[in-house]
Amino acid sequence: MVINQNIYPYGAQVKNLPIYLTGIGGSEFQYHIKRSEGYYWHQILYSANGTGCLKYNNVSINMSEGYYFFLPAGFPHEYYPTNGNWNVQWLAFDGYACVQILNELKMTKPIAVQFTDSSSLQKTFNKMFTAQKYDKVYADYICSGLIYQYVIEFHRMAFDKNLSGGNDKSNILTPVINYIDENFQEDFPITILAEKAGVSPQHLCRIFKQTMHMRPNEYVIRRRLKEAKCLLSETDMPISDIGTRTGFSDAGYFSTVFKRYEGISPVEYRKSQKFIKL
């Protein structure tokens, strides 16, 4: 889709949403932009064709076709074409949860990255642009969900590379998580998981913690508790048997771990689920 128009949503009803679109568009003839105090909103821009230069904090980055660059709100920057016409697509967003979301994603500074395949981002961008252009009633709500999806996908693509080896984190973690999900009732050493990932145990723990915000052994415990909650809710199986079936060594340890993570005992959890069903 060729974008050569800028749209600025004005729906006041979305101002209370955690994240919402504040602008979207593009230009086949991008002009020189210099913002000594940054922009009002967070932005993600796409170099669709031609070349340009992005400058911030005494850093200069040549932006050829396929480059994306993220600019946080209020961050001083400058960008301009360097060789003829420069086609740039852009979107901007805000919302009361934006700072929290971007902090969680470690998107607090400018990011420039080139993707070999950005079709998923482009499809989401096109959906937002089309909604803003043609849906006069629900566009802002639709775009609230789509901009969140867009930011998460951008983050995944930009940060999913293992800096020490260039390996995709998904390729490392997916076989590990699959193995845990299929064998969570058993006890197994970290070396087994490292073999599945094809990396050292130390490196696996670092990547797992960085991505999943927990260590592999904690993921095992949470997977066991997930199964235990299903059995507590859907069966009349004795609690001691549930603990054994989900991989805990004894009923006492099961109850202790369950309460530590869930805040209530297995007995209390079962009672609360039966009450809900009634």
| Mean of pLDDT values over 35-64 | 93
Cβ neighbors of 205 (< 8 A, separation 6 or more) are 190, 215, 216
Which amino acid type is present at position 157? M
C-beta neighbour count of 47 within 10 angstroms: 24
204: exposed, middle or buried (Cβ count in 10 Å: 0-12, 13-18, 19+): buried
* Distance in angstroms (rounded) separating the CA atoms of residues 159 and 168: 9
* Distance in angstroms (rounded) separating the CA atoms of residues 10 and 134: 14
Of 46, 11, 41, 9, nearest to 26 by C-alpha is 46
Which amino acid type is present at position 158? A
| Mean of pLDDT values over 152-158 | 91
Which amino acid type is present at position 42? H
Q: Is the pLDDT of residue 166 over 60?
A: no
The per-residue pLDDT for 163 is: 39
**The 77-81 sheet, strands edge to edge:** 33-35, 77-81, 52-56, 59-63
* Distance in angstroms (rounded) separating the CA atoms of residues 273 and 233: 6
Alpha helices in 94-200 (DSSP H): 98-104, 119-134, 139-159, 169-183, 190-197
Q: Strand 6-7 and strand 20-27: pairing?
A: antiparallel
The answer to whether the beta carbons of residues 150 and 91 sit under 8 Å apart is yes
Of 33, 22, 29, nearest to 48 by C-alpha is 29
The per-residue pLDDT for 12 is: 76
Q: Is the pLDDT of residue 78 over 50?
A: yes
pLDDT in tens, 233-273: 999 999 999 999 999 999 999 999 999 999 999 999 999 88
pLDDT in tens, 9-25: 877 778 889 999 999 99
pLDDT in tens, 170-209: 788 999 999 999 999 999 999 999 999 999 999 999 989 8
Cα distances from 191 to residues 167, 194, 260, in angstroms, run 19, 5, 27
